[in-house]
Structure 1
């Protein structure tokens, strides 16, 4: 499995960030092909974390992730990031290993 993880620090205008993210960016992300599962939270505890929001998407493989991001939908998602993401946003993708018994 392959994971995409996006961590968002506190934006200058949190209400504007959340409104744009929910109404513009997440609908684009929902169209990504080859996504096995995705989820997000806008309720991270800023006192315990430097991040206030997170997005996760799972893919069957690194190849599926690459194909999704190279697709027209993936290009639209990437092109939209500068429209709302605060400076310091972290985007990571990585292979995932399962724990035995988990």
Structure 2
């Protein structure tokens, strides 16, 4: 298994970020081909380290993740970031350890 973690920086307008994320961005993400699982949550206030929210997109392999993000739905999802994540985001590719 392979995960993409998206770490969103603290937005200036949290209400606007939340509204766009739930009403527009999540439906775009759910259209990604080969996506096995999608979860997200807010970082607890005590542990933010500058981050506001984290999303995890799970794929069978890195190749599936790359193909998914290169798809039309992947390009639309990435293009949407400028509409709500002006503070920036970090994407981490994480192969799961201990799995064959």
Fold shared per TM-score above 0.5: yes
Q: Which runs of 5+ in 1 are unaligned?
A: none
C-alpha deviation, 1:46, in angstroms: 2.5
SS of aligned partner of 1:47 = helix
Figure out how many residues of one structure are paired with residues of the other and give that number.
98
Q: For the aligned residues, what is the CA RMSD? A: 1.4
C-alpha deviation, 1:98, in angstroms: 2.9
SS of aligned partner of 1:79 = helix
List 4+ stretches of structure 1 deviating above 4 A.
none
Q: Which TM-score applies when normalising by structure 1? A: 0.88
1:1-102 aligned within 5 A: 1-42=1-42, 44-49=43-48, 50-98=50-98
Q: Which runs of 5+ in 2 are unaligned?
A: none
C-alpha deviation, 1:72, in angstroms: 0.7
Q: Which TM-score applies when normalising by structure 2? A: 0.89
